[in-house]
Structure 1
Amino acid sequence: MNAPFQNTDARTAVAGAECAVRVLRSLAEVEAAETMWTALEDRAQGATLFQSFAWCRTAAEHMARRGTTALYIVCVTMRDEAVAILPLAIQRKGIRTILTGLSEPFQQYTDMLAAPGHSPASLFALMRDTIVKSGADYVHFGQVRADSALYQALGTAIPPCGEDDAAPCITLTDWPDYETYLKSIKSKTRKNMRNARNKLERTGAIEHQAGSDPDLLCGVISRTYEGRVDWLERMGLTSRAFRNAGFKAFVDRFKAPGSTGIETVAMSLTLDGKPIAEQWGFVHKGRYYAFISNWDDTYAESSPGRLHLGEVIRSCYESGVTSVDFIIPAAPYKLTWAPNTVPVQDHVWPLTVIGYIYYSIWLQRLRPFAKSCVESLPPALRQKVIGAVLSGGDEASVSKRTVDGQAKGHSVQDALS
């Protein structure tokens, strides 16, 4: 079970230098590593917001206050400089001990910060023994992007597990401005969007707000959270994030982004001053990450969520953002605007007999069948079934499903995790 990775060639492969591996286990150790961490973060490539120092410190502070999760951040250093950081944490669910992404279930991607010029596979091989010694039954790498350093590191040794998904994304620098980008959208789609907007404008004035004003942030964050809670209840869906008792307190931290060090942006599409579609997210190294969105179903015929994404993209152009990440899942309303998607999948590495049984019997065989059966149920019945499953679970029940309008997996899969 522990054979996929070997350390034999790793030390010579990492620039021919001797490396040290250590684990950060406390908030104090995280804060002490800030200079080393941010230096690597500046150099690392990819969609690494959820592995950034500011994000991980914010998550570590949240965990320290609640005392719910043990940090296990694996670092590889060379000549006192970090060349790889893999932010993980230990979680316990019943008899299972899981090593997973540091801020799960709140983060959207799991990745590894890796210094350019070093092989991610070799860096990960150096971490192997430290990961095995974590005491976990299995390692869960959730939402790994196919273009990430961690994906390269895992290779074929830890294959994907579970459903295929994808993150719709846009490289804004492929077009000089929003108007030019808009011309790349199918003419029929543009016409449909114009007609939908015109229909709304016949009933009132449409306005769009975007920025980091405290009042805007507080309003959008609160409304989107509550809107998602209501939507999940209606649809009979579930989310590990939303049913986690600490998620509300975690998202509330971003109402004052100065305290997190993360650029947080809120956007609101209004009709006569009433919000009909809203979204908020983060900007890190020029990339905008959508996090939570919501829309008013009263205006469903005009597709307010789809309309709003056009305004989100326009605002990103105006603010100098270079790329937009709409996060999983690859929902149709996102694909209207995003020309590209990046495959995203979970990877699971069993380390003990318990981990292997859970992986081979539950994850690989029983869970896909159970998920298919539950998803085929009508929303009302599905809600009852999921409620029964969660009532015996080990996470506090807050509500059900998802982060970015849908994100954090598909519907019932979290209830069956």
Structure 2
Amino acid sequence: MTDSAPPSGLPENPARGQPHDESAIKSAVARLRAIADARAATVEIELLVTSDFAVIEPIWKQLQTTCGLTIYQNYHWQKAWFETLGRAEGGSAVLVVGLLDERAVFLLPLTRLRKRGLTILTSMGGTHANYRFALFCREAGAVNARLVSDLPALLAKALPFSVDILDLPLQPLAWDGIENPLAARLPSTQSAVGGSSVSLISDFNAVLERGNAKRKRKILRAQERGLNELGGYRVARTDSPAEDRRLYRTFLAHKAPWFAERGIPDKFANAATRAFFERLADDNALLPRGEKLIEFDYVEADGKILALLAGGTFDGQHFGYFTSIIHDEKYASLSPGAFTFYKRIESACAEGLRRFDFGVGSERYKASWCDEEHPLVDVLVPLSLKGRLYAGAKRLKTGLKRQIKRNPTLWRFVRQFRQRLAGKS
């Protein structure tokens, strides 16, 4: 007599000829994880804190080679931000390092702020950093997971001052396939926005074929015809601090009417923000060849810069910061902004980059390119009664923002209300 085969799709247990017990497998995996966590718990981690970037620079740069990062975790980017915008906002640097057997396995750059009687520790970068996570050595996963779980208590012991809340917004769940322990192990709520990017290969046509390739090529041909009718055009990229400053001034001129029409304060026009982006331009020389803290790609025609895109390149990835188009209806039909994105993504493929990141937000032009979504959470760890009140209010505010942005009717109403406040009809 022949034994019957196991049900289709289920592996056979060689000893019994029966399907594996899925619950037993899950239980075994959980026990193995518990053993790994128990071993990690026996390891002594030392937490060190400094406010001195120079002291921590070699540790930071060494960790940059062992972590999955964005440009917003780059040492020179963070230092430039803190020494301009961070200080202008009244912050003081709190640079936290986790050591294991004299080896750095964790680095969390924080800013200490005093607001409404609260002491807040928040991740550096402010509104100009789209992803605000820490540096974790990828080989120390279990140790870092325990370190993050114990972080509030460890910080309370290591810091010479009391803290009301740990506020770490815009934490990706993972980057480059590496889990972010801050998002996984600490209390969090979904951010009001998410991030998105397009993965790249050297064959730009293959990237284009992932979605609406025929339509994109058709639009490009029409744009090129229109630009040529203006007497020709030039696609270029800045390559010096002086050029970066010139393009930043152009960006401000492009964007001022946009902000005014929508009743939104122009966060780019203040002196500290200008100093930050100028500092990035000056510090480009500190990065290896092929990497930039900031550069501008732009299209020029009819004697004017019609559109520009600012971003930085780090670890084989390009990160978009901001974009603008000329405020002139004469050029609107050319969609120069979309044209600039097309050309920049095309050049990124030719340069061998592996990712083009659009940052946070859900604009339509991003969706036409992106094949990677980056869900984000806001970590809030209250350490006092005042901190709990702050966390509750912020969670409520974030949830309201998220609902408004996901509801086209509500979002349109908010935009119209801003315009009325700005004195526009």
TM over 0.5: yes
2: CA distance between counterparts of 1:195 and 1:386? 36
Is residue 31 of structure 1 aligned with residue 67 of structure 2?
no
1:62-81 Cα shifts (integer Å, max 9, x gaps): 36864821111211012222
The correspondence for 1:200, drawn from 218, 227, 245, is 227
Is residue 304 of structure 1 aligned with residue 336 of structure 2?
yes
The alpha-carbon deviation at position 284 of structure 1 amounts to: 1.1
1:300-349 Cα shifts (integer Å, max 9, x gaps): 33322111101111222233322211111121112222222222232322
The alpha-carbon deviation at position 292 of structure 1 amounts to: 2.0
Is residue 145 of structure 1 aligned with residue 177 of structure 2?
no
Which residue is 2:311 aligned to?
281
2: CA distance between counterparts of 1:79 and 1:226? 53
More displaced 10-residue stretch of structure 1: 230-239 or 272-281: 230-239
Aligned AA (1:153): L
Pick closer, same or farther for the CA change 1:376–1:64 going to 2, 3 Å: closer
Pick closer, same or farther for the CA change 1:113–1:301 going to 2, 3 Å: same
2: CA distance between counterparts of 1:150 and 1:98? 25
2: CA distance between counterparts of 1:11 and 1:305? 53
Aligned AA (1:169): S
SS at match of 1:170: strand
SS at match of 1:334: helix
Is residue 251 of structure 1 aligned with residue 277 of structure 2?
yes
1: CA distance between counterparts of 2:244 and 2:397? 43
Is residue 122 of structure 1 aligned with residue 150 of structure 2?
no
Aligned AA (1:155): A
Which residue is 1:328 aligned to?
360
Pick closer, same or farther for the CA change 1:53–1:369 going to 2, 3 Å: closer
The alignment of Structure 1 onto Structure 2 pairs a total of residues equal to 370
1:373-394 Cα shifts (integer Å, max 9, x gaps): 995547574156589xxxxxxx
Structure 2: runs of 5+ lacking an equivalent: 1-35
1:356-386 Cα shifts (integer Å, max 9, x gaps): 2232245326972899599554757415658
Aligned AA (1:310): Y
SS at match of 2:140: coil
Which residue is 2:322 aligned to?
292
Is residue 98 of structure 1 aligned with residue 120 of structure 2?
yes
2: CA distance between counterparts of 1:321 and 1:223? 27
The correspondence for 2:107, drawn from 56, 75, 85, is 85
Aligned AA (1:62): T
2: CA distance between counterparts of 1:366 and 1:254? 30
SS at match of 1:256: helix
1: CA distance between counterparts of 2:204 and 2:61? 32
2: CA distance between counterparts of 1:230 and 1:64? 27
Q: CA RMSD for the aligned pairs?
A: 3.1
Is residue 42 of structure 1 aligned with residue 72 of structure 2?
no
Which residue is 2:203 aligned to?
177
The alpha-carbon deviation at position 295 of structure 1 amounts to: 0.9
The correspondence for 1:382, drawn from 394, 418, 422, is 418
The correspondence for 1:237, drawn from 256, 264, 267, is 264
2: CA distance between counterparts of 1:366 and 1:168? 19
Runs of 4+ with >6 A deviation? none
Which residue is 1:168 aligned to?
196
2: CA distance between counterparts of 1:214 and 1:350? 42
1:332-347, aligned counterparts within 5 Å?
332-347=364-379
CA contact (8 A) 2:165 2:382 kept: yes
Identity %: 19
Which residue is 1:351 aligned to?
383
